[in-house]
Structure 1
Amino acid sequence: MTINVLVVDDSAFMRKIIVDQITPLSGIEVCGIARSGEEALRLIPKYQPDVITLDIEMPGLNGLETLRLIKKDYDIPVIMLSSHAGEDITIEALELGAMDFIEKPQNLMKVEGDFAVELARKLRSIVESGVAQPVVGRVQKDRQFPTRVKAIVIGASTGGPRALMTLIRRIPAGLSIPIFIVQHMPAGFTRSFAKRLNQEAAVTVVEAEDGAVITGGTVYLAPGDCHLRIKDDQLSLSKESKIHGVRPAVDYLFESAAPFYRQELVGIILTGMGNDGAEGMAVIKEMGGYTIAQDQASSVVFGMPRRAIEANVIDEVASLNEIGERLNWMIKVKQWM
């Protein structure tokens, strides 16, 4: 199967960079190039692309306006190309239905290898997400949901921002336990994302800070490019090497929270590509905590939940709406200490 990509960017140099990165990739081809949003809308019926890469900042019909019109008429995955100057707009694009985004190289004269790797991974994962595959794994259906919960940890990647926005709106103001989130996202963008979550939430959402004392009733989002761990009653950030090709990593958060909260911890793995989170879920389960994975039907990319299910470390598989109901119930019942 060949993945056909429509590249949309007003910069001739940036178009060339993207095309040059895609050309050597097996099974992925550039089917067309558009220099503006208006041209992109004319070319979509002609080329019928599988994926569109879309620049956020363009003259005339900008990236957000183009995205709105694409999502109105087509069900084509869109990956936004964003710069640090467009962090807030990028978060808005994800809310509007963009599947994911990639940070533009800061130095266009020196494109780092990470850009090509990330572009290839996201193109492949988004298209492969549309192919249903059987899940080989065992869910521990005999486990009862815990009546005492002291903390919740959540991990997400591709599709995560929209999923987390949905969940955050379900959390009532009576939250009295901490919630910790790792969303795969570059540095700077998590600050905008935390701000946006906080605007939508009835509780306080902040970007995690190193050494901060953990407070009940607060939602902590791991900063981009920093691993987040729980050390006793404090947050710990580090810049150590990436694992699974990402930083922050879900595994580090889950593995550090499990021995601290033990059987009173709930771990949730949401939509995302790759296998980050499966090993951390295993530690949560080993320590007696309860584990939930988002189901395939409601996941944008079923990679991370699938790996955890196939590792036999999941107690419950649920839709995004069902997970939201679980969160709401946990908080309202107030049976924790």
Structure 2
Amino acid sequence: MQIRLMVVDDSAFMRKIVSDAASKIDGVMVVGTARNGQDAIDNIERHRPDVITMDIEMPKMNGIDALKIIKEKHPGIEVIMLSSHSKEGSTVTMEALEMGALDFIEKSSDRGDTNFITEELEEKLKVFDLISKSPRKEKRTAEDSIKDSLLPAGSFDHKKVKAIVIGASTGGPKVLFEIVRSLPKELNLPVFIVQHMPKGFTKSFAERLDSECALKVLEAEDNMDIRSGVVYVAPGDHHMVIEGTKVRLNQKPKLHGVRPAADYLFESASVKYGKGLLAVILTGMGKDGASGMISIKDEGGYNLAQNKETCVVYGMPGFAVSSGVVDEILTPEEISEHILKIVKVKNGT
């Protein structure tokens, strides 16, 4: 399948850089360029792109406003944001991901480096290729939900939960915003999140989650005390593990090509919390999280996976399911309901 790509940037230099980078990727054809968001929207019907790379800061119409219109009027078109490493750039990138951008590429500090853009773009387009080859997503019914339950209803004791661990990759930020937003202030236990994301962007991600969550959300720091009612987000380029009553960070080699890796978090949490651990694996490419879920099952914990119909990419949840370590497959809304039930059961309501 040939992917039709449209490049949107107010800089002629960057339009050329991205177009040249894309031309090096087999199966990709640059069908058009645009100088700003309005120009892109005006030319979508003519160019008929499958994917758009979108700069954020542009005159006339910026990338965020253009993204909103594209997702409303052309939901089948995927958008990859081009983001600067600055605090403002990373903050706006988080907004774009929450609005439904497929992913983002950090602009290289070397303005002449097309190799970096090519490698990053090729990786993101692999995800689009997986999406385009997936069966059409059908609306989930109550019957489907029952069929997805891999163990008999009632087999999980919500009273035993002492901690929650979550792993996610591509498409994860949007789902995490939904789940974390639903966490009640009465959730008197720690939550640990690994979202595959570059260094410098996880801080903005944690801050945005914190602004919308009843609990405190922090980008984790090495040797932090673990406290109930706090959500810890693994910082980019660091693995996060649990040792005793502390959060520890390390820079061991990448696992499954990523750092942070959910497997390291899951495995260490299984040792600490045993039967009291609830694990969640969300949308993402690859197989990170499955090995950690094996450890969680061995220790008596409970594993949830996001269902295929709501995933951007079913790689991570799918691999965990095929490994036979998932107890239930649920929609993001049902995962949130599971967590809310922990509070209700413990409070006797």
Aligned runs of 1:100-179 on 2, under 5 Å?
100-111=103-114, 113=116, 115-132=117-134, 140-142=150-152, 144-147=155-158, 148-179=160-191
1:295 aligned residue (304, 307, 321): 307
Q: Which stretch of structure 1 is more off in the superposition, 180-189 or 139-148? A: 139-148
Distance 1:335 1:51 in 2: 48
Report if aligned partners of 1:4, 1:51 keep a CA contact under 8 Å in 2: yes
CA deviation after TM superposition for structure 1 residue 139, in Å: 7.1
Percent pairwise identity: 49
SS of the residue aligned with 2:105?
Answer: strand
Letter in 1 for 2:56: I
SS of the residue aligned with 2:187?
Answer: coil
In the alignment, structure 1 residue 91 sits paired with structure 2 residue 94: yes
1:282 aligned residue (280, 283, 294): 294
Q: Which stretch of structure 1 is more off in the superposition, 142-151 or 281-290? A: 142-151
Residue equivalent to 1:27: 27
Distance 1:4 1:275 in 2: 28
Residue equivalent to 1:225: 237
CA displacement, residues 5-57 of structure 1 (integer Å, 9 cap, x when unaligned): 11111222222222222222222222212222222112210121111110111
1:327 aligned residue (332, 339, 349): 339
Change (3 A) 1:133 1:61: closer
Report if aligned partners of 1:174, 1:332 keep a CA contact under 8 Å in 2: no
**Structure 1 residue ranges (4+ consecutive) displaced by more than 3 angstroms after TM superposition:** 110-113
Letter in 2 for 1:71: K
TM-score norm. by structure 2 comes to 0.90
Distance 2:94 2:345 in 1: 32
SS of the residue aligned with 1:301?
Answer: coil
Aligned runs of 1:251-290 on 2, under 5 Å?
251-290=263-302
Letter in 2 for 1:4: R
Report if aligned partners of 2:6, 2:49 keep a CA contact under 8 Å in 1: yes
SS of the residue aligned with 2:192?
Answer: strand
Change (3 A) 1:47 1:61: same
Q: Which has the higher helix share?
A: 2
Report if aligned partners of 2:18, 2:114 keep a CA contact under 8 Å in 1: no
Distance 1:261 1:130 in 2: 39
CA deviation after TM superposition for structure 1 residue 126, in Å: 2.5
SS of the residue aligned with 1:334?
Answer: helix
Distance 1:111 1:240 in 2: 28
SS of the residue aligned with 2:98?
Answer: helix
Report if aligned partners of 1:172, 1:332 keep a CA contact under 8 Å in 2: no
SS of the residue aligned with 2:224?
Answer: coil
Distance 1:94 1:129 in 2: 17
Letter in 2 for 1:90: T
- What is the aligned residue count? 332
Report if aligned partners of 1:149, 1:330 keep a CA contact under 8 Å in 2: yes
CA displacement, residues 91-146 of structure 1 (integer Å, 9 cap, x when unaligned): 11112221211111122123554x43332121121242243369xxx974248213
Q: Which stretch of structure 1 is more off in the superposition, 175-184 or 326-335? A: 326-335
TM-score norm. by structure 1 comes to 0.93
Report if aligned partners of 1:3, 1:51 keep a CA contact under 8 Å in 2: yes
Aligned runs of 1:240-255 on 2, under 5 Å?
240-255=252-267
In the alignment, structure 1 residue 318 sits paired with structure 2 residue 319: no
Report if aligned partners of 1:80, 1:102 keep a CA contact under 8 Å in 2: yes
